[in-house]
Chain A
Amino acid sequence: MNAATLIAFEFPPINMLLRWQDVVPTVNKVVIISILSSLIGIGIFLAAARKDPKVAPKGARNLAEIIIDFIEKQIIMQTMGPSGLAWTPFLLTIFIFIYLNNMPGVIPLIQMPATARMGIPAFMALMVWVVYNVTGIKHQGPIGYFKSVLFPPGVPKALYILVTPIEIISTFIVRPFSLAVRLFANMLAGHLLLVIFALLSEALFQARDRILIPVGVLPFAVLLFLTGFEVLVAFLQAYIFTTLTAVYINMASHAEH
């Protein structure tokens, strides 16, 4: 018997896994997920806002308040202090939007995180880059901000030859690039891992040689584990992106950093 007939595992082209056909012009699955993420986020907070705030919160209001509390206590107070509470709506929106764009990667039948495409992470990172630079200029003035970035206080002057180029690259190039790539790469890697183990499980379960069928349990178990792991990654990436945004804004707001 030809070995090729035992198992047929064919990994599809990468673009077939990531690039989706347009449903209507310019609107594909990734676009729909990003729009739905906004609508779901708005829907949760709209339902929360309509409920009587004086009674004990439950349902959507409870969820909304838990998220606000989480953002304020676990991110803003830890990185920015009380002065950062004015950034709650911005950081809250970033967190929810990224999380809701990550989660479809583990939702059956959807199984595509919108952040596994570079468009949304790139925009988010670019927006954060603009926001923290504008905040720095607003708080310290253009000269003060660029001076504090290019010539960090407390560094011996001789080291500025080395530090200043590093700071320029770090603040203006690496930060937005790492923000975008971290989110995108993590979600893409998770998506590809799920695809690989799903295809491997399917191939083994459908193998012509019946002895291989039980072996399919192994990649299927890994698939289940990775699905659970991706739930954690979806949350973690949203948390990391939001925390770093808070850190960058806080650093831009205060010259002493």
Chain B
Amino acid sequence: MLISTIILAAEDMGPNPIAPENKELFWGAGSFLVFLFVMRVFLVPKVRKGMEVRYNAIRGGHESAQAARGAAQRDVAAYEAALAEVRAEATARIDAARQTLDAERQAKVLEANARILAKRAEADGALASARAAARGDVAVAVGSVTASAAALVLGKTADAALVKRAVDNSMSGGRS
């Protein structure tokens, strides 16, 4: 058999292999105790202290960053409040200006209307005067023509008052 060639040589067992050797125990103890002393008294406190310093610095930086963030948020809130106040004031001013403008416009419109009415009344008066004058002229001319026509027809001069009454009566459309 191939593996049967394996030779296990376990002769000369010597001392117990699991029993502790004094030199290893004492040197190991000495090494550990020196290590423990140096770590306990000098090294770990120093490294730990350095860690605390850095952690505190980080914590302080974090806290100041939080404070700065809070202050910035307060500034933003104050700015937004001021902005809202200014917006409200601007809106109020715009409303007031709009009302003023509306009132002024209303007044101007009323004034213009009054002027228009006055001018219209004036024009109407002038028109009525002109119409009356023209009517008078027409009446005179018609009276003259009528008188002339009546003289030609009748062969004698017509009574002027009668002609005038007839013309006036005719021009007023029989309304007199």
Contact = CB atoms under 8 A, between A and B. Distances in A.
Contact of A88 (B29, B34, B48): B48
A88 B42 CA distance: 13
A196 B121 CA distance: 135
A247 to B, nearest CB: 19
A45 B44 contact: yes
Interface string A1-40: 0011111111111110011001000111011001101100
Chain B: number of interface residues, binned into ranges: 35 or more
A28 to B, nearest CB: 7
Given A93-B32, A184-B18, A27 B2 contact: no
B155 interface: no
A171 B176 CA distance: 149
A137 B165 CA distance: 155
Nearest to A211: B2
Contacts of A61: 47, 50
B31 A35 contact: yes
Chain B interface mostly helix, strand, loop or mixed? helix
A244 B49 CA distance: 27
A93 B40 contact: yes
A249 B1 CA distance: 56
A6 B5 contact: yes
A164 B46 CA distance: 44
Given A11-B10, A15-B13, A30 B43 contact: no
Given A4-B5, A27-B23, A117-B20, A19 B14 contact: yes
Interface in B5-24: 5-15, 17-24
Interface string A162-198: 0000000000000000000000100010000000000
A7 B2 CA distance: 8
A120 B24 contact: yes
Given A7-B6, A34-B24, A19 B17 contact: yes
Chain A interface mostly helix, strand, loop or mixed? helix
B1 A3 contact: yes
A48 interface: yes
Interface in B95-131: none
B36 A14 contact: no
B172 interface: no
A221 interface: no
B65 interface: no
B24 A89 contact: no
B47 A45 contact: yes
A7 B40 contact: no
B9 A11 contact: yes
A30 to B, nearest CB: 5
A10 B158 CA distance: 181
Contacts of B26: 119
Given A3-B2, A68-B47, A38 B15 contact: no
A173 B50 CA distance: 41
A159 B42 CA distance: 48
A9 B6 contact: yes
Contacts of A4: 5, 7
Interface of A: 3-15, 18-19, 22, 26-28, 30-31, 34-35, 37-38, 41-42, 45-46, 48-49, 51, 53-54, 57, 61, 64-65, 68, 88-90, 92-93, 96-97, 101, 114, 117-120, 122-124, 127, 184, 188, 212
Counting from the closest, the 6 A-B pairs by CB-CB distance are A53-B50, A119-B24, A119-B25, A38-B35, A120-B28, A45-B43
Given A9-B7, A117-B21, A119-B25, 11 more contacts: A11-B7, A13-B14, A28-B23, A37-B31, A45-B47, A65-B51, A88-B44, A89-B44, A114-B28, A119-B20, A119-B22
